[in-house]
Structure 1
């Protein structure tokens, strides 16, 4: 562990983004995506939908990409990062590869360089690490517009700020029984306002 308690963000060599994604996918598969290797979160089983695109889980592809929110008009997530040197898309959907364009997202080396943090953060959550915050709140799911309970796990220490988001899946016959935590996404926080909003959300949702 070299980066505020987490592994150092990877310096990804310039090359085909899909080759880089597949390489990191094979590593994350062994520590998180594979059902047999997948950890639990404080005793709750984690579910990852088995939608495969180009040999990779769709939720993985979602986590290493971002929606075109016009970041390039202000500041790129990878500004002052080595990832910015090799970044081709510059957060623009029009520059994305075909696979990511189908998902209406743009691939992100900044996110990809930190994707290995998922199992590390879950491990810290299970150990009640001092830099971990966990809370739940009800939100509309972006994929189907249904209201769901979301479980959020955030690690914040120095320059390392990373969040993992799950949907809570309950038993159809026993609404109080949590069956799984459905993995939706994971990414580093880089917008200051998003960090502030998450801080406020945590306080609101954990207030007794």
Structure 2
């Protein structure tokens, strides 16, 4: 049996496979095999249905809202639930380098997408959630989370319209890298965004 024909590649096992990914990544971080990992839950043009949402509309079509708002909202909720389940998996481990601390105390999880809105296929007002203790470096207000707009730090303007001013995503990745004590290899503007981390100004 080829890998493509294996039942693990079917939508029926999507939740189980995703849970397996969470366990592998959490275990690798928890035992110190790696300090950085990526969990890709979906991709723009994927066709493997999310059966919890729809058996007839694939995630790509959900993102375009071809089947309506309810299916679109359900798919967004499913992706968000996967982020929560991954956080739950991380919470099971002790930190491999800091005795007495939990893995989440020193972990930053970045939850985002490659599109802000799949229907018009744009990246304006990109949703991004930063979660975890991040060794105390993440500014999170009272500790209960916060919404932080970085629009005032814009570096890109479309059509000379003040309403269309944006921060390039590479600056966010650069800021995260600086907070972690490293840098990104990108060309162009990689100046940090202020106000996200206590050690990046």
> Do both share a fold (TM > 0.5)?
no
**Structure 1-normalised TM-score?**
0.27
**Structure 2-normalised TM-score?**
0.28
* Structure with bigger RCO (C-alpha 8 Å, 6+ apart): 1
Which structure would you say has the larger Rg?
2
Higher percent of residues as helix: 2
